[in-house]
Amino acid sequence: MPPPSISVVLPAFNEEENLRSTLADAVACLNQLATTYEVIIVNDGSTDGTEAVARSLCAGNSRLRVVSHTSNRGYGAAVRSGFSAACYDLIFLTDADGQFSFEPLSEFLDRIEDFDAVIGRRAPRADAWPRSLISAVGNWIARKSFKLRSRDINCAFKLIRRDVLQTLSLKSDGAMISAELLACATRAGCRIKEIPVAHRSRAHGSATGARPAVIWQTVVEFMRVWREQRAHTVLPGRAKAKDLRVA
């Protein structure tokens, strides 16, 4: 089987101090796993030096690109911009904050041959307890509402076939993007595999997911996605949701 072609999407908001090491880790891993790849850093209107660092790191390397938002539009908007810019057969989504090693990507590439998406589950999770608690509650609500089997919906370590992504209508601008992606994929009957990945604490900066404004945006977008999912049935041409293989 020929080596895969991979587009790596790295959403980044105020990740000036983490971006250099994350990109170095990505490139070192990709050089071993793929002959054809690209890394797309999506700067979501950062107010620190993320834009400048990203531009300097990508200068002179055609495999590295920067997509920039002039203002902060939200995590989901950054993810969607990265997906739209991606060119290759497989799209790998992870964050620029350095909380994941790229080493598990090798196993994900082995598994993707039999699935439409391979998604990570943080085991164990390294976040502080307030963020972990909010995430656990959100996971439970999303699983019940959208009949998802994933145990860690918001884990930012996902490998997805590009042709599958192009069939999904994703609209969320905020943190709801992860649940919307899996809800749409499940409704479409996509084959999804979930496997554990190591998670580590941030070396620099702080996460924004527990901020009240982010939580409120997630609630608003959740209601939209919930209404849209209720209005649709399983699409033809794929297995029914009950037949999904999610471990």
Residues 220-230 have a mean pLDDT of: 85
pLDDT at 200 over 80: no
pLDDT confidence of residue 235: 46
pLDDT confidence of residue 225: 84
Residues 108-132 have a mean pLDDT of: 84
Q: Please name the helix (run of DSSP H) or strand (run of DSSP E) that holds residue 25, with its range, or none.
A: helix 16-33
In degrees and rounded to multiples of 5, residue 124 shows phi and psi of -85, 170
Of 80, 134, 125, whose CA–CA distance to 100 is shortest? 125
Query: Can you give the residue ranges of every domain in the chain?
Result: 5-236
Could you write out the DSSP letters of every residue in 209-236? TTSHHHHHHHHHHHHHHHHHHHT--PPT
Does 5-236 carry CATH code 3.40.605.10? no
Q: What is the pLDDT of residues 85-100, one digit of tens each?
A: 999 999 999 999 989 9
Q: Which of 114-118, 170-174, 188-192, 241-245 has the lowest mean pLDDT?
A: 241-245
pLDDT confidence of residue 239: 43
| Rounded Cα gap, residues 90 and 9, in angstroms | 11
pLDDT above 90 as % of the chain = 63
